[in-house]
Amino acid sequence: MANLESVLQNSKLLWLRKNLFSNWYNTLFTILCLVIIVGISKGLCDWIFNQAKWEVVQANLHLFLVGRYIRSQYWRLWNAFAIVSVLIGINWGVFTAKERARTNPVIIVLITSIILVITPLDINSRLWLLGINSLSFVGMWLGRKFTPIIAPWLFWLWLISFPIIMWLIGGEFYLQPIGSDLWNGLLLTVLMAIASIVLSFPIGILLALGRTSTLPIWRWFCTSYIEIVRGLPLIGILFLAQFMLTLFLPLEWRLDRVMRAIIGLVLFSSAYMAENIRGGLQAVPKGQAEAAKALGLKAPLIVGFIILPQALRTVIPAIVGQFIGLFKDTCLLSLVGLAELTRIARSILAQPQFLGQYAEVYLFIGLVYWLFCYFMSLVARRLERQLNIGS
């Protein structure tokens, strides 16, 4: 054991010497960077802990998270969050079933405990979070314990849970209806991002297949759509969806602003998604399709079971990058009148007692965006490891 520790210590020292202190100017540059980093970190920590006025976040946390959602119906949001947490736990358990040593439950419990302590929530919300955290651990244990049974059903579990979650949030059928105009803040941001991601992915696949098709009309249509949409800014498409889409629909079709915004995001994202997937399709050797044809397989089977799985596996990093970009692009919805996280932040800054506290508010919502984007990146890396991409 002592020999192993000495070997590790020597390897770290060799890495430092090779990469940071290999010669005099690298050593000087390393020391200069350390001085700059320490100076910036010291000033930032002093501002965060001594000068920043975090009361703006504490007093308006419910607005950041759910906006004007009816307080008496918060239990519905907690139950929806519990369903999502359990499913995430199950997925994480399935993905890490063969890597038990890499996922330390103690670290997860410690991080969760710190969040429960420092988050400015009332006792009822803390109890909800504690219960949901426990359920996520149960889901993780189930995913690891029964991986062969649960793994084939993961997609269907998410598919079934989606209408249940939307029923809890929106109401109807024995629940008080809550209009989409009250879905604000982080709630609206997450719902818009998830709906746009789920819908743009299959449409992007169809467009990519159409652009590589041998049928001229289908290929020209898909190519024209992709090139036209990619040449337009997202904000322009959002304005078209909000103010012009209803002109092309029958009078009895009344789409609310949330649905029109989702359509705009899907139209924009699917074009970029199609190009990412087309790159994966071109990376698959043509011999794969020729061998499948020689075995007598039909074209839909060749595409669905041979070509497409390999293409999607290849472009997972690009697809996840598109998803992350789409999540961040939801901030543009504030320009078309939707009170997502960024617009809620502006309305909070308009309160007389919090005028001028831009740094605290935008640092908080920036942290929220970073946490969600990092989580998606973490899941993508785990998926790549499971599929042995790049190895």
Asked whether residue 253 carries a pLDDT value surpassing 80, the answer given is: no
Asked whether residue 103 carries a pLDDT value surpassing 60, the answer given is: no
Could you report the per-residue pLDDT of 224-236, keeping only the tens digit for each?
Answer: 999 999 999 999 9
Residue whose entry in the numeric block shows the structure tokens 């038990």: 100
In this prediction, residue 101 carries a pLDDT of 46
Q: Is 340 helix (H, G, I), strand (E, B) or coil?
A: strand
% residues pLDDT > 70 (the chain): 90
Asked whether residue 5 carries a pLDDT value surpassing 80, the answer given is: no
Q: Are 183 and 67 in contact (CB under 8 A)?
A: yes
- Supply the DSSP symbol for 351: S
Closest residue by Cα to residue 125 from 78, 158, 57, 60? 78
Could you report the per-residue pLDDT of 20-34, keeping only the tens digit for each?
Answer: 777 877 888 888 999
Tell me which of 106 and 246 has the higher pLDDT.
246
Q: Are 299 and 209 in contact (CB under 8 A)?
A: no
Asked whether residue 186 carries a pLDDT value surpassing 70, the answer given is: yes
Could you report the per-residue pLDDT of 299-329, keeping only the tens digit for each?
Answer: 888 888 888 888 888 888 889 999 999 999 9
Asked whether residue 390 carries a pLDDT value surpassing 60, the answer given is: no
- Cβ partners under 8 Å of residue 364, min gap 6: 57, 64, 345
In this prediction, residue 227 carries a pLDDT of 93
CA atoms within 13 A on the CB side of 285: 5
Asked whether residue 102 carries a pLDDT value surpassing 60, the answer given is: no
Residue whose entry in the numeric block shows the structure tokens 């996922």: 103
The DSSP line for 16-43 is: HHHHTSSSHHHHHHHHHHHHHHHHHHHH
- Cβ partners under 8 Å of residue 126, min gap 6: 116, 119
Q: Which of 74-78, 96-100, 119-123, 179-183 has the highest mean pLDDT?
A: 74-78
Amino acid at the residue 48: I
Could you report the per-residue pLDDT of 129-154, keeping only the tens digit for each?
Answer: 888 888 888 888 888 888 888 888 88
In degrees rounded to 5, what are phi and psi of residue 140? -65, -40
Asked whether residue 266 carries a pLDDT value surpassing 90, the answer given is: yes
Burial classification of residue 68, based on how many CB atoms lie within 10 Å of its CB (0-12 exposed, 13-18 middle, 19 or more buried): middle
% residues pLDDT > 90 (the chain): 30
Q: Tell me the pLDDT band of 244, cut-offs 50, 70 and 90.
A: confident
- Token couple for 251: 């009078």
Averaged pLDDT for residues 365-385: 87
Q: Are 132 and 124 in contact (CB under 8 A)?
A: no
- Supply the DSSP symbol for 54: T
In this prediction, residue 118 carries a pLDDT of 64
pTM of the model: 0.85
In this prediction, residue 4 carries a pLDDT of 47
Could you report the per-residue pLDDT of 349-359, keeping only the tens digit for each?
Answer: 988 888 888 88
- Cβ partners under 8 Å of residue 375, min gap 6: none
Asked whether residue 14 carries a pLDDT value surpassing 80, the answer given is: no
